[in-house]
Amino acid sequence: MTFIQDQLADNHCFGCSPDNPHGHHIKSTWDGERSICHFSPKPWHCAGSPHYVYGGLIASLIDCHSVCTAIAEAYQREGRAIGEGETIFYVTGSLNISYLKATPIAGPLVLEARLSEAGRRKSVVLCTLSVNGELCAKAELVAIRVPASWGEA
């Protein structure tokens, strides 16, 4: 299975880089229309109760998964394999999350994202987070494309 994050050069993101030793290391797949990510929270990802996931972790996972979805779609729209040619970077312009119910830490958390709008500079991604088939959160993320030089030192 090929993951979006494993195909992105110079990605040092806390949430999605496989090379950041302190990060979440999320893995998202892209089928040309939607992306899926499975994440198993650790006990320290808890909220006030040890049985539920901390909302900040949920926001972080949705953010990274959604931005990677926008990146994958942009490569597809340009007729390139993910990571091929000039690097495509997006950053979060806005993120609006609705926490619908407490998210069990027992997981795994399943994130699914699709684009509702795709443009040269701005894309809108809709993302859901579920556990055992129950919807726990939904979000809309506006992804803004930045120049390839954005990732350079």
What is the C-alpha separation between 138 and 17, in angstroms, rounded? 23
The answer, yes or no, to whether residue 19 has pLDDT greater than 80, is no
Taking alpha carbons only, the member of 129, 4, 130, 12 closest to residue 70 is 4
Rounded percentage of the chain residues whose pLDDT exceeds 70: 91
Q: What is the pLDDT of residues 37-53, one digit of tens each?
A: 999 999 888 888 999 99
Query: If one looks up domain 5-151 in CATH, what number appears?
Result: 3.10.129.10
What is the C-alpha separation between 133 and 13, in angstroms, rounded? 28
Q: Taking the model in full, what pTM does it have?
A: 0.92
The answer, yes or no, to whether residue 17 has pLDDT greater than 90, is no
What is the C-alpha separation between 79 and 41, in angstroms, rounded? 35
> Where is pLDDT greater, at 148 or 53?
53
Q: What length is written for the chain? A: 153
At residue 92, φ and ψ (nearest 5 deg) are -80, 120
How far is CA 4 from each of CA 1, 21, 62, 115, rounded to the nearest angstrom?
10, 18, 15, 15
The answer, yes or no, to whether residue 153 has pLDDT greater than 60, is no
What is the C-alpha separation between 4 and 77, in angstroms, rounded? 15
